[in-house]
Amino acid sequence: MSKLYEFWSFLAEVSGLHVRTLATLATLHRPYINSLFVSYNMAVDKISPTDPRVKKDFKEVNGRKWYYWDAAAQGQEKGIVFLIHGYPDISLGWRYQIPMLTELGLRCIALDYLQGYSPELKDYTFKTHADAVAGIASQLNYSHIIVGGHDWGGAVVWRIAQWHPSLVTHLFSVCTPYFKVHDQYLSNEAIVRGGVPQFGYQSQFGSEDHVLEKTVGGDEGKIRKWLRGMYGGKPASGRSFMTPEEGVRLEMLGQEGEEVGMTPLLSEEELDYYVAQYAKSGLEGPCNWYRTRRLNFEDEKSLPASQRNGIKQPTLFIRATKENILTEDLTRGMDKAIPLLTSETVPASHWALWHTPVETNEIIKRWVQGVVLGGKSKL
């Protein structure tokens, strides 16, 4: 049975409506379908903000405290996986994946970059995060780890595998393709002019005058609206909240800005938790991901020659087919740079971890069972 058929069958069951009627409602009453969509995803086991299956802890590495969620493996432990979230996200972003991974016998360490905020830009480079993961693994007494990432976390896991090749045995990235190490520095503006116009938003997110952080500030109402919009909530006017080329429509976040509808990807409890976390930390730390391109380039000059040209470990990449920024054309050449690559797709937006948790989890589970635990080089 296909997952699409299973989804619509589920909607028909919980609503008492015929599938054809649901298809009509899908075009006329988005909030109704959104509520059913959330109900469907809630049927997948997931971690809650106060879940007893997760312990919150931290380790100090290179003078900075690194916070994380720690979920023990169910039954006999077969390994450990470090989960790296992206922007704008927190450890809870892995809520659908942690139960599945622990059921497979993997201990999960989900890093949380909002906590332990640092004002130093260097603390947001790929190498800093790679060294932090290696330091935490060492303090936890692991000499081999798996790493998984999404969004900026997906970019990080590629470099963790390159900076610490003897530590990382396997890795997976959701949505974020592998980007090669460059011999010459490329600014974001140069990348946009060079044929990737959908990266234009990064100039706003990482602007020198911190325009996004100043607009949102610590106002919980603005943070809530910002998160709703970033996660797919629809503005009342029907306009897009954000465009890849320009970024967020900042006027929507003002006091007189229009209302932004609830995202179908979060429950109200989850959104409240996200808002509370961002209200404590602010947006500057997360936005610093977009200000480290030069620092990453300088760091990567020191990457060993043997690690500069690709990834040698068995790797899983999951592309979201409805993604409008990390698009299919950016994945070209990945199979040459990563010989042991397994590539899969899910019919999801950028938030594939939550948008299609059933499909995303099945792909990761099959890869873990066949490659990580089963000894295959790829599927």
Return the active site residues.
Answer: 151, 350
* Residues 6 or more apart whose Cβ sits within 8 Å of residue 159: 126, 127, 129, 130, 296, 300
Tokens of 126: 């790929």
- On whether the CB atoms of residues 176 and 151 are closer than 8 A, the answer is yes
> What amino acid is encoded at 273 in this protein?
Y
- 197 cis-preceded (ω within 30 degrees of 0): no
Closest Cα partner for 188 from 303, 337, 296? 296
- How far, rounded to the nearest angstrom, does the alpha carbon of residue 17 sit from its chain's CA centroid? 34
Tell me how far apart the alpha carbons of residues 62 and 123 are, in angstroms, rounded to a whole number. 10
CB under 8 Å to 243, separation ≥6 — which residues? 201, 249
Query: If you count DSSP H runs as helices and E runs as strands, how many of each does the chain have, helices first?
Result: 16, 10
Instruction: Retrieve residue 151's tokens.
Output: 């969004």
Does an H or E element contain 70, and which? strand 64-71
Cα separations in angstroms, 286 against 167, 190, 201, 282: 26, 23, 14, 8
What b-and-e string marks burial along 331-342, b requiring 16 or more CB atoms within 10 Å of the CB? eeebeebbeebb
Are the C-beta atoms of 65 and 378 separated by less than 8 Å?
A: no
